[in-house]
Amino acid sequence: MKLCASCMRCLVDRQEERVRDKGKEEDRDAYMRQVARIIAESAPEDSAPVLVERINEVYRQYFGPVTDYDEIKKEFNELMLSLEPDIRSVMEAGEDPLHTAFVFARAANYIDFGMAGQVEKETLFQLLEKAAGDSMDEKVYEEMLSDLGKARKMIYVTDNCGEVVCDKLAVEELKKRFPGLDITVMVRGEAALNDATIEDAIQTGLDKAARITDNGCGVAGTPLDYVGADARRLLEEADVIVAKGQGNFETMHGCGLNIYYSFLCKCDWFRKRFGMEKNKGMFVRERSS
């Protein structure tokens, strides 16, 4: 997805807010000039998550390490694990456990400290409670099922910590529905905000549900020009890809692969593009979005 004027403005605003109380005034001024330079020199195809990774390199030079989310990630992984039995019960009581798993996994996409800054547990609980009665774009869902019925290889690209508990349930249901399908789950290769890495996959038991690989980079998304060679090969060889979260949409949309995106609309641009209210769920296909 190309970087638009709205995303540029958002990047500047968020970086100014990020350093408002950091260091000396001259350092803040110099830092913001570097942020502006990175945006000005970006290529048309560069996405916001890619630029944030470049901006983080400059941030470290002026202000030291970026925020460490390790403890927050462990906390939300444990929180979602505590809710797993209840979510499983709802899935088992429904007519289509796979559909139910997908809407729960989409609701859990709320656990995003990059967009929200602060994740309210009460809001998370409300979204999960509503998820049982949620729907997806049924036409797109049926297209995915049809594609999966013919597919040999699938990649499931995760987004956030905690959310991966519901991703695990979705992957388990996919394996039940399509036992001959070769499923690989792809997490981030390096720390990126509160995005899931191999450590989160292990903590939540996702590694027991499917083969886990990482994308070989620390961008909060999956840009094909930045991921590792093995990750890119797996993505290009996959018959079907499910990609979670706005960051994956931003970095993968337009690549031409057969991708089904599942995310909550959290920022103004996404809400306007899809005509949705904040934290409403989307399930869209690469070839029609």
- Are both 102 and 10 inside the same structural domain? no
What's residue 265's pLDDT?
93
What's residue 114's pLDDT?
86
- Are both 81 and 190 inside the same structural domain? yes
What's residue 270's pLDDT?
86
- Are both 47 and 93 inside the same structural domain? no
What's residue 135's pLDDT?
87
Residue 106's closest CA among 3, 205, 232, 248? Answer: 248
What's residue 268's pLDDT?
81
pLDDT tens-digit profile of 231-257?
999 999 999 999 999 999 999 999 999
- Are both 47 and 120 inside the same structural domain? no
What's residue 288's pLDDT?
58
- Are both 100 and 197 inside the same structural domain? yes
What's residue 168's pLDDT?
99
Burial zone of 242 (CB within 10 Å; 0-12 exposed, 13-18 middle, 19+ buried) = buried
262 and 106 Cβ atoms separated by less than 8 Å: yes
Last residue of a domain, one of 63, 80, 103: 63
Which regions in the chain score pLDDT beneath 70?
A: 1, 116, 288-289
- Are both 186 and 209 inside the same structural domain? yes
- Are both 76 and 205 inside the same structural domain? yes
Residue 196's closest CA among 102, 98, 114? Answer: 114
- Are both 174 and 243 inside the same structural domain? yes
Last residue of a domain, one of 26, 44, 63: 63
197 and 190 Cβ atoms separated by less than 8 Å: yes
Report in angstroms the alpha-carbon separations of 256 from 45, 145, 171, 181, 241.
14, 19, 23, 22, 11
**Domains held by the chain: number:** 2
What's residue 116's pLDDT?
64
The token duo for 43 is 């290529």
Give the domain extent around 31.
5-63
